[in-house]
Chains A and B, each alone.
Chain A
Amino acid sequence: MGNDNEIIDNIANKEYEFGFVTDIEMDILPAGLNEDTIRYISEKKKEPEWLLEWRLKGFQAFRKQKLPEWQNFTLPSIDFQKISYYAAPRNKKKYNSLDEVDPELLATFEKLGIPLSEQKALAGVAVDAVFDSISVATTYKEKLKELGIIFCSFGEAVQEHPELVKKYVGSVVPYSDNIFAALNAAVFSDGSFVYIPKGVRCPMELSTYFRINTENTGQFERTLIIADEGSYVSYLEGCTAPMRDENQLHAAVVELIAMGNAEIKYSTVQNWYPGDKDGKGGIYNFVTKRGICKGDNAKISWTQVETGSAITWKYPSVILQGDNSTGEFYSVAVTRNKQIADTGTKMHHIGRNTRSRIISKGISAGEGQNSYRGLVQIGPKADEARNFTQCDSLLIGDRCGAHTFPYIESKNNSATVEHEATTSKIGEDQIFYLNARGIDSEKAVALIINGYVREVLNQLPMEFAVEAQKLLSITLEGSVG
């Protein structure tokens, strides 16, 4: 790539061309990454000294690391010095009304059935009026407060709850973990913070109601979720609406901590811009997500629906430290046109009688390449540990590809590891059979896809599952024919 400046210039020009009212922040940092950049960011955010130190350590680690080479695709070379690390995180285009928004985008919103007020917020229409949903959000915020639940931006948490942040940040994904995690530690912009106190069951899906509030927090997002003993939380990240972003590289970090008897459900729908038909301009999504079941009987469950991005590279993992703890990974990853997805999970069984369950469903269409990469690691003390992995691939057309890379490392003979894999193709015969019953080809494919991914979508909260289902059919529209 190496033309980020050009991209930014382009966008600036475009904004001018269309006469957008853009309130550009005064302090755009020039491209480049060095210690001063980091000090600048930290100061801008009025961060305490320890956090600056931590960022700097992250930067040191970043400098020592190389781009990974084990992936099943050619990683485009990334010139980290050509990225601006404080380039106006809020410089999203603002429109005056929906009329100015790309009609194609609106058509997609329409198909997804997203309410008008949310459409406006998502498309970035400046609205002065307070939406209903925002007041809904405020009401819920009050309720959460009563229960002692902390749900705020990462930046806010640093100011309001520094002791919690200090204790847990980097405790699951250390700044030295990998090059993208290190980069994130050094320059992270903002993100979310959740703390659920002991014994509290969070009464709502976090983030659904706040969807329109959570503005894009930029390319280096950081999320930290702590579920104290015996608590429960379900967290939703992302949304089904198409997300466009000027930043090509996204390197987020998510850390989950579940204490004894606690449960965290983390669901993601990722629909970043995948680039045009030739794969140009799409987003590189390099995310590090990891959770730890710290106490006994803890449970962490990742569910993801990945339809966007030019390249997706992520392996939500669980460290099963507490005895009897459970890790789950449910994934649907779609690639079409020239999209690449290299995704999967890692389950590290450390405690006794720990369980993990992996259900991965890849769908490839066009020239899309889909890789599942999974590691199941059983430690010497993980007596009676059990893993079940089901890894399915569905191909649409014959120019796409599916690959699976399951790795198993077991140091305990009492462990059971099961792996099942299937590859299937949507056949002309299947389509014709459905055609012959009055169902057109598009619907036929949607029907087959929905059947195929049901096991994963069932893990999502109802409303979200319906949206995700629509998203999948829209994504694959025109793939068969």
Chain B
Amino acid sequence: MTAIGDNDRRLEKYRRMQRIRQFETKAESIHAAGEIPGALHTYAGMEASGVGACMALRDDDYMVGTHRSHGHPIAKGSTLRPLMAELLGKATGVCKGKGGSMHLSDFAMGSLGETSIVGSGGPVAAGAALGAKLQGLDRVALCFFGDGASSEGAIHEGMNLAAVWKLPAIFVCENNRFGMSTPTSAAVAGVNVADRAHGYGIPGVIVDGQDVDAVEEAVREAVDRARAGKGPTLIETKTYRYRDHAVNMGRDLTPRGPEHDDWVARDPITLYRARLLADGVAEGDLDAIDAAIAEEVTDSLNFARESAYPVFEEAFDHVFVDRLPIPDDVLAHA
């Protein structure tokens, strides 16, 4: 198969996948060293799913994601500095240190949240699509959710609403074969999540989640449909999570089988690199991208490290528009 898109777009897909991989490789190692607090859920192995989907979107389209939040903003085009700073809990972070690893959400890039309550993004995407429609904008809203999340009522309710109102929404189930320690087969009734689309009377599409071009093509078709007022699509990207549910937790609870090696052998970045080379892209160009991204990651980490932590008063910002009053006894001992 020949890579889709003009040369710039092809290289951009490669670049964004590499950017996710290298960003997270660095994050995982500094998390192990204690520099990132809280839990870290990495996207390694799933890069083609996020990048393929987001490359089919415009910058002003909306996107909602999950606790596995690092890949989505980078796929949509966010820069690394505010993301790395957020992981370190710094005031310069994209959420000012309020959200951390599970919530890397860049609203400037169309994000409406990376929400860590499983399934809770479904209604948000339906609502954003409704808002766009009511405002007469031709924007679409894309909802990433996991195979595990497909069992939540909120996902079903979001899809049903979008279908019954023919909203410009795209639901992308990133089926990475597990929800924590639970294999998809033990939690999802029926063979494929995408099969549920029939129940809503909308298209259900299954796509190779390791093939960035295939994902882009499937999502583009859904986006075209949505913009044309024909309603939502459910797309299931068959993909794989390489690392533990959350990294550096001591033991991997994932019940992996012998197919693990087959998945790793179909690494999305390696596959795409091979396709580009076969298409005649010069190896040196790809190496140059890799090297530039390594520098971006280092730069983002330096920026994050040099940034200040939020001051205590900021804990009382953003509950409402106006800062909350801070109780004296709390302030006195902060």
Does chain A bind chain B? no
B residues whose Cβ falls under 8 Å from a Cβ of A: none
A interface with B by C-beta (< 8 Å):
none
